[in-house]
Amino acid sequence: MKKIRVLLMTVLAMLMITAVCYAESMYPATLDNGNLVLVDGHMGVGQYADRSSVAVQRYNPPDYQLSINIVNVTFSEEHYRVHHSYHNCPYTYGNVLTLSFRYNWDRKSVSRQLYDGTWADWNINRDNSHADGNPLVPNTAEVAFVSEYKMRFYNTTMGYSPTLKRYFRVISEDFYRTLGI
């Protein structure tokens, strides 16, 4: 019985990760000539990091603090029903949200400012999916760092997936290619 449960959990986890990967490929990786970079997408709304909005709040290596705007982009559902994709699709800009991140280069750690003004460390040892985490956090933090300093923060740093029981790159090489680095 335990083996069946473990097998079912593994299959479920693989399906969730596949669904997240499929969802990301449904949306354009960039908009506005590469200035807006997809950091998350769900149900016809893409969240895009605005590379031109990065602001340095603290520069004291190995400690950094940056803020960046996230633009919600709503895509046409009619287009999706016909083409099953949001590529080359009409869209409208929506709300803009500013996120702030603290980085420690030596520890390769990121904290995010919460809505109440407190700070929370981001745990890289989780799945960066909607089921177990929030892909918005590591992706947006990386876009801000790369956009400001022209170097990778996480680079090849590995996290551990407790669901799949294996290591994975926190930021994929494909995502770095999208950022041009």
Dihedral, CA of residue 123, residue 129, residue 132 and residue 138, to nearest 10: 20
Domain count of the chain? 1
pTM, to two decimals: 0.83
Looking at residue 128, its pLDDT comes to: 67
Work out the burial of residue 176: count CB atoms within 10 Å of its CB; fewer than 13 is exposed, 13-18 middle, 19 or more buried: middle
Residue that is written with structure tokens 């799949």 in the block: 164
∠ CA 81-84-88, nearest 5°, is: 100
Using only C-alpha atoms, what is the Rg of the chain? 17
State the residue range of the domain holding 83.
Answer: 2-179
Residue 28 · residue 177 · CB < 8 Å: no
pLDDT at residue 176 in the model: 97
pLDDT value at residue 163:
80
pLDDT at 22: 38
pLDDT score at 127: 66
Q: What is the pLDDT of residue 10?
A: 46
Average pLDDT for runs of 10 along the chain of length 181:
55 40 72 96 95 98 98 94 91 97 96 95 79 82 98 94 86 95 93
Is the separation of the CB atoms in 127 and 140 below 8 Å?
no
